Structure 1
């Protein structure tokens, strides 16, 4: 569960420390306010969506940040961001510098402002919450633990984050938003096929397939199936009295054995095992 209270940890000035990567701050914001920085931020800045959706403006680019995505901003990059709709936008963030931060990012080929996406099962999803929890429960007088955590986070982002930083990808994401929102409301309908998805944008199935592959590396229907599995996980954890068969129907599977096989293929465990583990 995502906590409702604001959590912010400030580690002070980073310029005087000689650690390879030094955290300036990290935190969780349950109701992200509008932010405008015409001169950019003075150190590296990572912002990711925990829940809801936001939009960030960088130069002439407008990037949507749904769940499972985040933005790495270099020092001095002018930007502004706000919630995409009237709904709540919950975010995690960290700001960092350090004597070797630039060299480390250069070696990871992460030396530009960049937009990243990742699968919900990837460690990135809950990593900043774990870092906050770990700091709350540990005495780290010299900030060595959080420095190591920051380095580990960058390595994890490099491994699991799918880089989408060109203008065409950004436009694709914006173009697909109406369909993605429609999918969120119709994932329980087992009758939906590719033609139904394409009709929501008034495009051909072939064009929609190309758009999804270019943007997410998945076909539209594979994306839809992953959405169904993600929703099933929410039901498995949030409604312990629901049976696996009932959940499979709720998320649009006609056959429970097909649901279990798909769940296992994507998650590495069966739905019942997932419920017990979590």
Structure 2
């Protein structure tokens, strides 16, 4: 077990007859436990909850807890893990808290576990690095398909937002904002904001700007000779200076530098002849100011 890896697997297994555990000091690693058959009682953060088939619990290190069978037979599956980047990864996935999970519409917890277990057990040459990668994939799938506090899973949020995102992609060049997006979605602005925060961890308008910048990058790569003002207009920016400032804020470089980094020698020659700096004086001044 290589503890210097971002993630390492401390233990993994199946308990046909789960026992009574009392851990007032918690467990030193992240601990995933889900019910395969029967029912258990789990005491966490001063509350006792049922853990039935299709439910699991993710515990952070040293979280006080206890659990015991609540049926004649309580069968569980467990995974414990840590790693040099475990806390940072769990924070990034918004999973760094002790929480009860429920299965959503995607793969069952048992399926996710079996996929992980088979990859580890059936490959003799499976290295610690491979295990670390597989464990990360398991966590990503759990984050995507697991439901927290009876709320929809990420996958379900994505499905609900897919038509809205598709409409946004079709109207990148139009002069629209949050009210128009909410009107098309037929939901209130607050409700729309909550949906996007849950699915993408950003506001709907920030996501719309991200789509516009992505489209601008695509145009720049496919048509490096195209004037900067034209690229801005095709992606919904009526003001070139606003486009340049937004592009730089999102990408860390100006559109001109982005183009220069990705174009070929032949494309550079064409661009030089037509020249972004020769299109409009405002564009030349803004590029010089930003760079």
RMSD: 2.0
CA apart distance, 1:73: 0.4
Q: Which residue of 2 aligns with 1:29?
A: 15
Within the alignment, does 1:94 sit opposite 2:79 as a pair?
A: yes
Q: Which residue of 1 aligns with 2:48?
A: 62
Which of 113, 124, 130 is the aligned partner of 2:98?
113
Which of 28, 31, 35 is the aligned partner of 1:49?
35
* Cα distance change on mapping 1:105 and 1:130 into 2, 3 Å: same
Within the alignment, does 1:18 sit opposite 2:26 as a pair?
A: no
* Cα distance change on mapping 1:100 and 1:33 into 2, 3 Å: same
Within the alignment, does 1:79 sit opposite 2:65 as a pair?
A: yes
SS at match of 1:111: coil
Unaligned runs of 5+ in 1: 1-11, 167-278
SS at match of 1:115: strand
Unaligned runs of 5+ in 2: 152-291
CA apart distance, 1:142: 3.3
Q: Which runs of 4+ in 1 moved over 3 A?
A: none
Give me the TM-score of the superposition, normalised by structure 1: 0.51
> For each residue in 1:70-106, what CA deviation from the matched residue of structure 2 results, as whole angstroms up to 9, or x when unmatched?
0010111111101112x21110110001111111110
Give me the TM-score of the superposition, normalised by structure 2: 0.49
Which structure has the greater CA radius of gyration?
2
Residues 42, 50 of structure 2: 8 Å contact kept: yes
Q: Return the alpha-carbon distance in structure 2 between the equivalents of residues 123 and 103 of structure 1.
A: 26
Within the alignment, does 1:142 sit opposite 2:107 as a pair?
A: no
Residues 124, 156 of structure 1: 8 Å contact kept: no
CA apart distance, 1:114: 0.6
Q: Return the alpha-carbon distance in structure 2 between the equivalents of residues 125 and 150 of structure 1.
A: 15
Aligned length: 151
Residues 59, 78 of structure 1: 8 Å contact kept: yes
